[in-house]
Chains A and B, each alone.
Chain A
Amino acid sequence: MKLSDSQYYTLRRWHSLSGVVPVGAFLLEHLATNAIALDGPAAYNRGVAAIGGLPFLPAIEVLLIGVPILFHMLVGALIATSGEASVFRGRYPRNWMYLLQRVSGVFLAFFIIYHVWGTRLSPAAALHRSDLYTFMRGHLRERGVLPIYLLGTIAACFHLGNGLFGFAVHWGFAATKEAQRRAARIGFAVFVILAALGVDALLSFTDHPLRLFGHPPDTFALHAGVER
């Protein structure tokens, strides 16, 4: 496939935008849903049931989440493989961010496939009869799964936070040195806050919750308030 110059520019613009909307927006939604688990299994299962009740959910999942992620992934693979990984002398701090953005992106491509398989497509995920909280708790107890999920969560938050800096510069929102510095700081803050929230939510499915942001869960009942 050969793209013209203007098509190439447009492709790069869509790649940059897709990382923020809808992919970045979906990450926020996903982390927020995970965080309901901090209120206990019942609250989490209620939240999941509410999302399950949304109209046109399969279409939303495929067209607004799946396709944009796939697009961002494929164009990202082109970008990552045209860069240079070496960090030799004469490279500066910002270059680490450049490198980490690409490393996290490549890792996330594999992680997302693994994650969607393990929680949606695999026979175990598709056929389980338990509630989602119990399923996730069991899944995260399998050997090696929790570390991969922790890494995936942190990588996703970094990629979005640092990606916001790139977005601000590429689109011309941050043209001056001061604006770029500000964008980098905001991006890093987004990373740290989202990663803390994401890890906190993830660990609430385990026997060792962190509870960084608050109160103990209302109840450990699995289905309080849910019609079965």
Chain B
Amino acid sequence: MSEPAITLRVLRQSSPTAAPRWEGFTLPWRADLSVAACLAELRERTRGAEGESREPLAWTECTGRCNGACAMRINGAARPACTARVDELGSDVITLEPLVKFVVIRDLMVDREPMIENIERLRMGAEGGDGAGGVVAASSDPALAIARCTRCGLCLETCPQVNERSDYVGPAPIVHALLFNALPAGGAHARQRLAAIMGRGGIADCGNAQNCVEICPERIPLTEALGTLARETTFLWLGRMMGG
């Protein structure tokens, strides 16, 4: 009898403009193996021998506990690779594809910079808050819960309103207006942030499919944050109509 094995089918791509291609790999099966661990092994394997010019498999590895950077499509479903265990996937063949809502840099590595720029555009001087530090992370305030955001991009990935036909920037950037407004340094530009998310591609483009709140690995109450911002932008809009 042969040793139990896992087959990984990986959609590889040498550059943002190169055509993607499927490549197959086989690894010995182990129940406690995560997809991230498989990828670490494949990276070694694809490195090739000394002097050989081969492209090692590229993906973004999480540092420490899962920070969402390793999110990809595993058997069609977008999720972090380091928390996906092969025995829980329930198939011998595992397909790995990069996230579809982002530009591929190489293989399973995608460019989250446009999303991060959209987040940072709203900062307007409200320093801190990101990275889940101390008091903010422990707070039960839905606005401060956004500080747990790891910028993994899964909320954009699963959102049907984020696509090439729409300008919608996606849940993660928009809800940061609520976080920055709640920070001590954020109050001064609260109205400007609300005004910024009222534009094209902003909160009005949210379609209420509510996939974002289901997929968020950090369990951020995204739909509550969006609902609160909907209320605040409504008030700002009404105030403007009445000449305020």
Contacts and interface: CB of A to CB of B under 8 A. Distances in A.
B234 A177 contact: no
B65 interface: no
A211 interface: no
A92 B214 contact: yes
A91 interface: yes
B224 A175 contact: yes
B223 to A, nearest CB: 6
B227 A175 contact: yes
B181 interface: no
Contacts of B168: 82
B74 to A, nearest CB: 10
Interface string A1-41: 00101101110110000000000000000000000000000
B24 interface: no
Contacts of B228: 172, 175
Interface string A118-145: 0000000000000000000000000000
A81 B200 CA distance: 15
Instruction: Assign chain B's interface to a size class.
Output: 35 or more
B83 to A, nearest CB: 14
Contacts of A205: none
Contact of A171 (B157, B160, B230): B230
A170 B166 contact: no
Nearest to B226: A169
A174 interface: yes
Interface in A78-135: 79, 81-86, 88-92, 94-95, 97-99
Contacts of A82: 161, 163, 165-166, 168, 205
B208 A8 contact: no
Nearest to A165: B208
Contact of B204 (A12, A172, A173, A175): A12
Contact of B198 (A6, A86, A88): A6
Contacts of A173: 231
Interface string B4-25: 0000000000000000000000
A89 B75 CA distance: 9
A166 B161 contact: no
Interface in B147-180: 157-158, 160-163, 165-166, 168
Contacts of B215: 90, 92
Interface in B176-202: 198-200, 202
B210 interface: yes
Contact of A10 (B226, B227, B230, B237): B237
A180 B227 contact: yes
A174 B227 contact: yes
B77 interface: yes
Contacts of A98: 160, 207-210
A133 to B, nearest CB: 40
B221 A172 contact: no
B85 to A, nearest CB: 17
A225 B45 CA distance: 90
Interface string A60-86: 000000000000000000010111111
B94 interface: no
Given A12-B204, A84-B161, A177 B224 contact: yes
Interface string B63-94: 00000000000011111000000000000000
Contacts of A3: 200
26 contacts: A5-B200, A6-B198, A6-B199, A8-B199, A8-B200, A82-B165, A83-B163, A83-B166, A84-B162, A89-B76, A90-B78, A90-B79, A90-B215, A91-B209, A91-B211, A92-B210, A92-B211, A92-B214, A92-B215, A95-B211, A165-B208, A170-B208, A174-B227, A175-B228, A176-B227, A177-B224
List the 8 closest A-B pairs by CB distance, nearest first: A172-B231, A5-B199, A98-B209, A175-B227, A84-B160, A94-B210, A12-B204, A82-B166
Interface of A: 3, 5-6, 8-10, 12-13, 79, 81-86, 88-92, 94-95, 97-99, 165-166, 169-177, 179-180
